[in-house]
Amino acid sequence: MGEKLNGDFEIEPKIFTKILVAVDEDDSQSSINAFNYAVTTAKRLNVPLGIVSILEVGDFNIFDTLSPEVLDERRAQVADDLAGYVNKARSFGVKDVTAYSGEGKPGVVIINDILPDVNADLLVCGSKTKPLTGRKRVFLGSQASYMSQNAPCSVIVVR
Amino acid sequence: MGEKLNGDFEIEPKIFTKILVAVDEDDSQSSINAFNYAVTTAKRLNVPLGIVSILEVGDFNIFDTLSPEVLDERRAQVADDLAGYVNKARSFGVKDVTAYSGEGKPGVVIINDILPDVNADLLVCGSKTKPLTGRKRVFLGSQASYMSQNAPCSVIVVR
């Protein structure tokens, strides 16, 4: 509930000091909207930008079901995509750009492993949607939803 | 899902053109964080700011259970709080500020009634938390969660 302040407060300017954007390995338009917002904002505020991509492990165990060769290929693809994003951000004019990667459930890995390391105060993600049986669509992917609910920092879902 | 673009895209600067911030009638610290971010951003981007407060109708029917006098008092309190926020935003330097109000479930009313009218491309809300039986706390209030999932525009949950 919090304390009721009855208007008795001064505005404190709130400016983010480090931004982390999650780019998705298999949903490019959603990633690109989030990425465009993140680079535009990092450049304007002149703050460091982290870019994270997680090799997604869903309900099946990717490490068991994929051959080592295919797994290596997918890891290389994530690294390659990430390098592309980093180059684009630098070309756009963001000075301080760092890439992060991981493997697992994106929301969980980003909240538990990446964010504490990066220490960002704004997490940027796309609004990946998936068609679901029996519903027209969900408006927010489960990973973005998980991050909005569990991040210790502010989270923006970009549409 | 979406189309896989393989890095073959140009960055398009993404800047919000109209901001709507939801201020809460009974959770001031959460509202204030959201409000501070919204005014800071509206001023920096020099874009119009809408401020919305919804007289919350929860599981009980406030219109039946409250006396007309108490209801009038609560409506007046919401209007008063809202006027205070508008004045603060203007004093801070946001030129174009408009107040909006409504009654009902905040998330639903904001998405269905207020947003289509305001036409904002960024909705700002706090991360109101409530203690729940059997859990330590939830990290995101149900209204913010509803808005993140259902808004047609970008949503930022400010912490």
Predicted-complex ipTM score: 0.88
Q: What is the three-class DSSP state of B106?
A: helix
- Return the closest-CA partner of residue B11 out of A30, A120, A158, A39: A39
Within an 8 Å CB–CB cutoff, is residue A8 touching chain B? no
**Which ranges of B93-127 would DSSP assign to H, the alpha helix?**
106-109, 115-118
- Return the closest-CA partner of residue A88 out of A156, A21, A6, A140: A21
Within an 8 Å CB–CB cutoff, is residue B8 touching chain A? no
A111-152 pLDDT, tens digit per residue, is 999 999 999 999 999 987 665 555 444 556 788 889 998 999
Q: For B126, which residue in chain A has the nearest alpha carbon?
A: A154
Q: Do A13 and B26 touch (CB under 8 A)?
A: no
**Closest Cβ–Cβ partner in B32, B39, B154 for A159:** B154
CATH architecture classification, A19-158? 3-Layer(aba) Sandwich (3.40)
CB contact at 8 A, B51 and B23: yes
Q: Which two tokens stand for residue B47?
A: 């874009």
When pLDDT is cut at 50, 70 and 90, the band that residue A30 belongs to is confident
Sheet of strand A19-23: strand arrangement? A97-104, A49-56, A19-23, A122-126, A154-158, B154-158, B122-126, B19-23, B49-56, B97-104
- Measured in angstroms, the CA of B13 and the nearest CA of chain A are apart by 5
Q: Can you tell me the mean pLDDT for B18-25?
A: 92
pLDDT for the residue numbered B139: 54
When scoring A30, A136, A157 by the number of chain B Cβ atoms within 10 A, the one with the most, hence best to mutate, is A157
